[in-house]
Structures are given as C-alpha cells and as structure tokens.
Amino acid sequence: MKKKLIYLVKKFITHELISGSLFVFIGFFISSILSFILNLFLVRSFSASDYGSYASLLSLFVLLGVPAQSLTTVIVRFATDYFAKDKLDESKTLYLRLLLFATILSIFVFLGFAIFSAPIKDFLHLDNIWYVILTGFIISVGYLSIVNTAFLQSLLKFPLISVLSVTGGVLRTTTGVLLVLLGFKVFGALCAILVAFLFPFLFTFIPLSFLITRKKSKDIIFPTREIIRYAFPTSIAILSLNSFVTTDVILVKHFFSAHDAGLYGGLSLIGKVIFYFTGPVSSVMFPLLIKRHNLGQNFNTLFYLALVIVIVPSMAIVIFYFLFPLYSINLFLGGKEYLKISPYLGVYGVLVVIFSMLNVCVNFFLSLKKTDIFIVVGLGAIIQIILISLFHKTFSHVIGASLISSMLVLIVLLIYYFKEYGSFRKIKETVSLINNLKY
C-alpha cells in the first residue's frame, strides 16, 4: 500500500502538466509574493486616492495589454506546432516576422497613448497626464517582449520562464520601494513595472539565439492568412475574458469617488490572489494540449486535470475569505479604512474562481482552434459593462454584474465542451485515468 502510494505521488508530480505548472507556479508564486510585498508597501505609503489612481492605471495596463496576451496565444499555437514537427526553418521565419510586427505594433501603441492621454486622464480623474503616457510606454514594451516569451513557452522552457518571472519580481519590488521612498509616488510605482519588463526581455534573446543565427535552408511560405484568421477572434476572446476582472476596476474609478475606487482596488488586489495560484495552469496546459492534439493523444484528461488543479486551491482560498475576511484584509492591506470591504471579499473571491475556470476553458478551445467561442465571451463582456453602467450604486451591484455575466459564459462554454468532446461517462473514465495516472 505504501509503495503504491509513493508510486502514485511520483507519477502525479512527474505528470507534464503538474511538473510544468509547478515550475511556472514557483516562479509566479515568488514573483507574486514580491508583488504582494510591494503592493502592501504601496497601500500603506499611498493615500486611498493615490492607490485608486495606481489601481486604475494597473487595470488599464492589464486590459490594454490583453491583445499582447492574445498575440502570445497565437504565437504559441503556431510555434508549438512547428517545433513539435521539427520545422525549424518555419520557426525562424515565424519568429523574425512576428518580432518585426511586435516592434511596429508597440510603436503604434505608445503613439496612441500619447495622442489620447488627455481624454484618458479625464476619464480616470487622474491629476497627472504623465501617468497615462508612462503607462502607454510600459504597455508598448510589453508588446515588444511577447514574441520571445511565447517562443520560450512553445519550447516548454518552463524553468527558464520561472527564473525570468522571479527576476522581474525582484526588480519591480526593489525599484518600486526605492522610487516611492524617494518621493516619486505613483510615478515611481509605474517605473518599477517598466524595469521589471525591460531587463528580463533583453535576456530572452540569449536562449533564442539559435533561431536568430540559424541559416534558412529553403524559402518558407509564411501562413499570413491562417494566422490572421486565428488571431482576430482569439484577440477578442482573450480581451473579453480579462475584462471580467479589469473592467470593473476601471468603471468603479469612473463612477465612484477616488476614495471608494481605492477601496475597490484593494478588494480586487486581494481577490486576485486566487488567480496567482491558478494562473500558471492554463499557460502550461496550452502548449501541451497542442502537442497532444498533433500527436493524436488523449487531451480530455489534461483539460479535466487542469480544472481540478484550478478549482481545489481556489475554493480553499475563497472559504478562507468568507471565514476570515478581517484577517485577510489586515494581512494584505494593513486593515484601517480597507476593513470596510470585508462584506464583499468572499463574493469577489467567487468571481475570481469563475474567472479562473473560464481561463482554462477559453485556453482549451483556443488551443484546438475553436475560435468561435469569441462570440460567447465577447457578449459576456458586453453584458458586464452594460450591467455595471446601469447598476453601480454599491460594490455589491458591481460584483453582482460581473458574477452574472461571467457565470453565463462559463455555463455556455461547458455545455459546448460536453457537446463537442465530452460526456458525463467520459468524466467518470477520466477520473479513473487520473487516479491511475496513466497520462
């Protein structure tokens, strides 16, 4: 019995989804701890108004950086396919063209922020236009770095990705604390994000040098049309997905007072701790699903296993939030005026759990090129915006609107999955497979 248990534990740990997720999780977790330390410092160093400005800019950064995330999804989808089939010439061509595209795109992103900085400043009720311009520059650097990061993910370089994540976390925390102590406040916190992006990005050229220096042996037909057909709906799907936990912060900054927006920003920060634990699962699952699909292997098990890994720790944290909201707020935000958000913490945690499950579902369908899901996810995001715009008297209304819209999307996607790939009988079979850890 003891030997069987040891064998099962060993098989579980060495499962490619588990081991890959573990590497990414460790890096992501350490980076998140450092981010938590920085945010704790910022919450206690900033006024609620300043933190509200920072939180809204951070949400704007996340939301407008989503197309970069969608582009990552597109790159991983095609690059993993090439690497799995050992098509290095095609990989080199894809890499160089996408790097050029990302460079041009980043320039346009920065120019767009520079041009529309004044309207954005007014909409978010900010007191400094340079906050918007700097945020635009950070996003443009993020766009520039996505190609290298996506190729490392396609190569399954999860340990290296983990190291780079930790490096970025160290740089952001040390730079942020130093600049804020020097009196740069929100501007200093934003500069720290820029530093955390820039230096790891420059390092990623080293492990990818084999693509840069490789001589092409033949002319390659670049699949431009196929990439565009995949990229457009994928971008909409991922942008809409992320809106469920970013649009609410931005709209609260618009509809509520600066003080209340700061409180909601703190609520969002604690709630997203859940995603810190579950986010790596989808990023590891995505290339593994593509690889299995190309090799004709079972991929349903991977999907169910990913959902289980996401749901179990997420629900544990949510239960903790419901039982000990005051302790959680004191731990993450230092208590004080943030204690007012305690009635909303558990419910907001449920929202993040649903978002985490949606993240797995959306990545599953996109890995199999089922891009038509963008219609469902997009409609859900629109419903969220409409509901919050109509009902925003209290935080409960805002969270409720986000819960309703995200839950509807999750139900539709799960029904779609069972119709296309699964059944309740297959779930039972997969549970048995997971227990035996044959995959």
Helix axes 300-323 and 273-295, enclosed angle (nearest 10): 170
Note the pLDDT of residue 88.
Answer: 81
For residue 410, give every residue at least 6 positions away whose Cβ sits within 8 Å of its Cβ, in sequence order, or none.
354, 357, 358, 361
* 407 closest CA partner among 373, 371, 372, 383: 383
Instruction: Give the pLDDT mean for 326-332.
Output: 86
Asked if residue 371 lies in contact with residue 320, where contact means CB atoms within 8 angstroms, the answer is: no
Look at residue 280 and tell me if it is in a domain: yes
Residue 362 tokens, joined: 């959306």
Q: Whole-angstrom Cα distance, residue 353 to residue 276?
A: 11
Q: Whole-angstrom Cα distance, residue 142 to residue 24?
A: 19
Look at residue 68 and tell me if it is in a domain: yes
Note the pLDDT of residue 439.
Answer: 46
The pTM of the whole model exceeds 0.85: no
Note the pLDDT of residue 406.
Answer: 94
When pLDDT is cut at 50, 70 and 90, the band that residue 13 belongs to is: very low
Look at residue 9 and tell me if it is in a domain: no
Phi, psi values for residue 319, rounded to 5°: -60, -40
Q: Whole-angstrom Cα distance, residue 83 to residue 105?
A: 25
Interval 292-327: pLDDT, tens? 766 666 778 878 888 888 898 899 999 999 999 998
Residue 81 structural domain:
15-436
Helix, strand, coil shares, percent, the chain, to 5: 85, 0, 15
In the chain, the number of structural domains is: 1
Q: Whole-angstrom Cα distance, residue 36 to residue 305?
A: 28
Q: Whole-angstrom Cα distance, residue 243 to residue 31?
A: 23
Look at residue 336 and tell me if it is in a domain: yes
Asked if residue 102 lies in contact with residue 144, where contact means CB atoms within 8 angstroms, the answer is: yes
What's the one-letter identity of residue 276?
Answer: Y
CB burial of residue 343 (10 Å; 0-12, 13-18, 19+): exposed
Look at residue 77 and tell me if it is in a domain: yes
Interval 98-132: pLDDT, tens? 889 889 988 998 998 889 888 888 888 888 888 88
Q: Whole-angstrom Cα distance, residue 148 to residue 303?
A: 26
DSSP helix/strand/coil, 438: coil
| The total number of residues written for the chain in this structure | 439
What are the DSSP E strand ranges found in 129-244? none
Element (H, E) at 43: helix 16-45
Asked if residue 57 lies in contact with residue 186, where contact means CB atoms within 8 angstroms, the answer is: yes
Q: What does pLDDT average to over the chain?
A: 81
CA angle 173, 179, 182 (to 5 degrees): 140
Look at residue 37 and tell me if it is in a domain: yes
Q: Whole-angstrom Cα distance, residue 174 to residue 180?
A: 10
Look at residue 156 and tell me if it is in a domain: yes
Cα distances (Å, whole numbers) of residue 210 to 90, 160, 204: 13, 16, 12
For residue 215, give every residue at least 6 positions away whose Cβ sits within 8 Å of its Cβ, in sequence order, or none.
none
Asked if residue 284 lies in contact with residue 17, where contact means CB atoms within 8 angstroms, the answer is: yes
Sign of CA dihedral 300, 439, 69, 80: negative
Exposure string for 282-300, b = 16+ CB within 10 A, e = fewer: bbbbbbbbbbbbeeeeebb
Query: In this predicted model, which residue has the larger pLDDT, 220 or 272?
Result: 272
When pLDDT is cut at 50, 70 and 90, the band that residue 212 belongs to is: confident
Look at residue 1 and tell me if it is in a domain: no
Residue 137 tokens, joined: 């520059």
Q: What is the largest CA-CA distance in the chain?
A: 68
